[in-house]
Chains A and B, each alone.
Chain A
Amino acid sequence: MRALNKVRILALAVSLIWFPTLASAVAPVAVFPLQELGEGRNDANLPFTRILTERLTESGNKVIGLDTVISFMANNRIRILGRLDTFNISRVRNELGAAFILLGVVSQRKERPEPTFALTLSLVRTSDARTVWSYVGSVSTGEDRRVLGIGEPQSTEELQPLLLKEIREQWPWRIINEVQQSGSINIESVLVEPRNVRPGDEVRCRVRLRRNWFVDHAPRIFFKADKQLYPAVLSGDGSTYEGSWIAGEDNGRFPVALVLQWPLYGRTESTLLGSYMVDGTKPLLEVELPGVKMLGGIPVFPQQLVIAPHLLVRKVLSRWRLAFYYESGNLAGDMNGEGSLPKHFIWSGNGNYGRLEDGVYKVEVEVWDLAGNSAKDSKIVELNRSLPKVDLAVDQNDEGMVVDLAVPEGKVPLSSWRMEMWTKEGKILTQSEGKELPAKIGIKLPDSVEGKKQEIRGVLVLEDILGNRVRQKVEDLLPKLEKKAKEKAKEKADEKKPEGISESWVDEF
């Protein structure tokens, strides 16, 4: 029970807090000047109409001002009070935006012989021109007699509050709350473009309206953005309004509203159409080449290059471009994409027209955000697909022979090498390996078999620092060794000749 009471108190508090909001959301009521049946059929009782309007407003109704209604009547030449035809009811709905019209007649208002005040009210729903609520009230001093006559009303002015109280008690809140606030803005289609712009870019808006006002009472139409009004121009089709403006310097999201103004009635209606984002900041882009080997201060890759672009500040992208340029600056290849960047690209050294030669290239990534701000970053890389190579020299020494391994000049350094040599019969002569070159490997030559030297064969496995790996056979080294020995012997023989004497010169001489 206590919990139930708490809930009730909470509900009451919430309803009290929200009452003004709820009240402002009710459908608007246009109170027309009350007709007074006095001397004639078409007198007006404006003072009581104003009081009635005020009381209805105080009780939470959204009431269209009496001055606005009178302007409307003047503009539409409505001279008869107390009633409206369907055509004018429709006009009230379209031009004043009223969901209901309160019409009424003060049927009696006289001081003698007995102060009397009486009226009839009709609430007309403008959407279907149907009277949805009626009220007939009358009061006289004779009907409001009180004990000992204390506080009895003495005049029609003092009787009016009694009727106002009764009207307030009988006011059809349920019917009014059932009706959604009607507006004159009936949108068929709307387009705000572009949705993302840079400062200074043009923003365009186009809206197609189902016009429900009369041509002679057409409103002035504007687009409102960033607290500014921009006129909407009616296009040839008679129902599409277009406008454009320049986006301001400030970054941020700016709502766009459609504003309809009827200066004649001092009435303005607006509705939100959409929004656009102004963004003047460029994306912050950085390109990395993870895992790439540096050689001579430049990234070198043999087969595949991993290109990892990163946005330093997270941002939605509209498109991107990856391009490769020759050292000369000419385009070698490119590709484009929409939306976000891939986590990484893998470049296999191909261009727009196929496989590219080894060489130096520029890798460039460019991105555009939704507003069109662009940023790019690039890296210089070298494509090097050449296989590892060593210079192999053979020399003879006392024990056998020495194999001299060295990396030719300009080649990529090796990360490892391995050499194995064996005789024709399969006897291992050497198994050497290392990480650096040059290196000398001594090999003890096998004994001759039946006076004939045995063949020596082997394999050399090389891997450079880029990961290129090659395995090459080493042919019989003995012929090389013999050739080398002959060359050496010849050189020795040449050394015994006197110095400074050229054979050729002597012959010629």
Chain B
Amino acid sequence: MKVKSAFFFVLLCLALIISSSSCFAQVSTSSDLLNNAKQYDGKTVNYKGEIIGDVMIRGDHAWLHVNDGSIAIGIWAPKTMIQDIGYVGDYHKKGDTVEVSGTFHRSCSEHGGDLDIHASEIKKITSGSSVIQPISRKKVYIGTFSLILVLLFYALKKFFQSRGDTSRI
């Protein structure tokens, strides 16, 4: 009986640990954060997404923006925390995907009321990459063909105008 009770007790403890750790690691979406900003204000949140735009260094900190596929939120992080960042997303690159853990501010008193997250940890989930976009042959053909067509049309117009033959038009 004692063994059974001890077994159930251990199971219960394990369940509690697993559930509490999954609560901590629960990732909030931008829509969650913006729609429930008051509830999240000042709380520690986990937010995951792609780094986009520019990393703006300000003294010993930096601003970066993490887009979770819907909205980009500003992250204020110490410079030491962003050294691992290799790619920042734009037209030419897919940015690193990171998970940010930090304090969410609905209206940050340190940053003029901006909605932001002050990062306490930034974990790189996947590394970004350069996006190679080969020149589209189809676009080259259509572009060249349409340009020739326009030039021919212009020449034709000039030709008829120089002959003063407007009856054909």
A, B from the same assembly: no
Residue ranges of A at the interface with B (Cβ–Cβ < 8 Å): none
